[in-house]
Amino acid sequence: MSHDVKNAKNTHAHDEKAHGSIKLYVIFAVILCLITFAEWAIFKKRDALGISNHMLVFGLLLLSLVKFVMVCGWYMHLRYDHKSLTNMLIMGMVLASATFAVVAVVVHPKDCSASKGECFRLGDSTAVPEEPAPASP
């Protein structure tokens, strides 16, 4: 973590390389628009395209990941910055996604997702299905 001369230079005002060029930004903007359009089109035509639900989730997540990386990497110029900044973002993203993936799995009772609409009125009693009652001494 010593003082990094190259990175210090990046904060200088006229450093073209550090902040990309207008041309690059425009190309990226076009790509971002195309991906958004593609997402919209895939969503609209999902039946005609015959995409399974799993593929749909996977594909759309992949597309949004591409957009995410483009904006973070280039528009937020993480690519040119000190790597500790990237690490911070990754730390936040990974820990948050992992935590709430687990929360969703633990909270969501299985029978509820299987039969949408049925279990809503049951409240939280669905959360304790198969646990045997603790044996009394």
Partner 1 sequence: MSASAHSQSYSKTGLWSWITTVDHKRIGILYACSALAFMVIAGIDALLMRSQLALPDNGLISAETYNGLVTMHGTSMIFLFIMPLSAGFFNFFTPLMIGAPDVAFPRLNALSFWIFLFGGLLLNFSYLIGQMPAVGWFAYANLTLRQYSPTVSVDFWVWGIQILGLASLIAAINFFTTILNMRAPGMTLLKMPIFIWATLVTQVLLILALPVITVACVMLSFDRAFGTGFFDPGAGGYVLMWEHLFWVFGHPEVYILILPGMGIVSEILATFSRKPLFGYSVMVYSTCAIGFLGFAVWAHHMFTVGMGPWANALFSAATMLIAIPTGVKIFNWMSTLWGGKIRFTTAALYAISFIAMFTFGGLSGIMHSSPPIDTQHHDTYFVVAHFHYVLYGGAVMALFGGIYYWFPKVTGRLMNETLGKIQFWLYMVGFNLTFFPMHFLGVQGMPRRIYTYAPDRGWNLWNLICTMGAYLTAIGAFLFAVNVFWSLFKGKIAGNDPWDARTLEWSLPSPPLEHNFDVIPTVTHLDEWWHRKYNEDGTRKVLAPAPHFDPQTIHLPNPSYWPIVLAFGILLIGTGFFLPSFGHVISIGTSVTGALVVLGSAFGWSYEKA
Partner 2 sequence: MLDSQHTGSAGTAGTIHGAGQEAHTHPTNTGVDNRKFAMWTLIASECFLFGTLIGNYLIHKNRGISGPKPHEVYQIDITTLSTFDLLMSSVAMVFALYYCNARRLRLFQFWTGVVALGGLIFLGFQYIEFSHFVLKEDLGLTRNIFASSFYLLTGCHGAHVTVGVIWMLSILITSLIKGDKWFNSTMVEVAGLYWHFVDVVWIIIFTVVYLFVYV
List residues near partner 2 by CB under 8 A.
1-8, 10-11, 13-15, 19-20, 22, 25-26, 28-29, 32-33, 36-37, 39-40, 43-44, 53, 56-57, 60-61, 63-64, 67-68, 71-72, 75-76, 81-82, 84-85, 88-89, 91-93, 95-97, 99-101, 103-104, 107-108, 112-113, 116, 120-121
- We find the least distance from the C-beta atom of residue 10 to partner 1, in angstroms, to be 15
Q: What angle do CA 31, 36, 38 make, to 5 degrees?
A: 90
Distance, CA of 12 to CA of 76 (rounded, Å):
16
Rule CB under 8 A: which residues touch partner 1? 1-3, 84, 91-92, 95-96, 99, 103, 105-107, 120, 123-124, 127-128, 130-131, 134
**Rounded Cα gap, residues 96 and 58, in angstroms:** 19
In which region does residue 132 sit, left (phi positive, over 0), alpha (psi from -120 to 50) or beta (all else)? Answer: beta
DSSP per residue, 86-116: HHHHHHHHHHHHHHHHHHHHHHS-HHHHHST
CB closer to partner 1, 36 vs 99: 99
CB of 27 or CB of 95, closer to partner 1 = 95
The encoded tokens of residue 109 equal: 């009772």
Closest CB to partner 2 among residues 26, 49 = 26
- Total Cβ atoms within 10 A of residue 115: 8
What's the min distance (Å) between Cβ of 117 and partner 1?
11
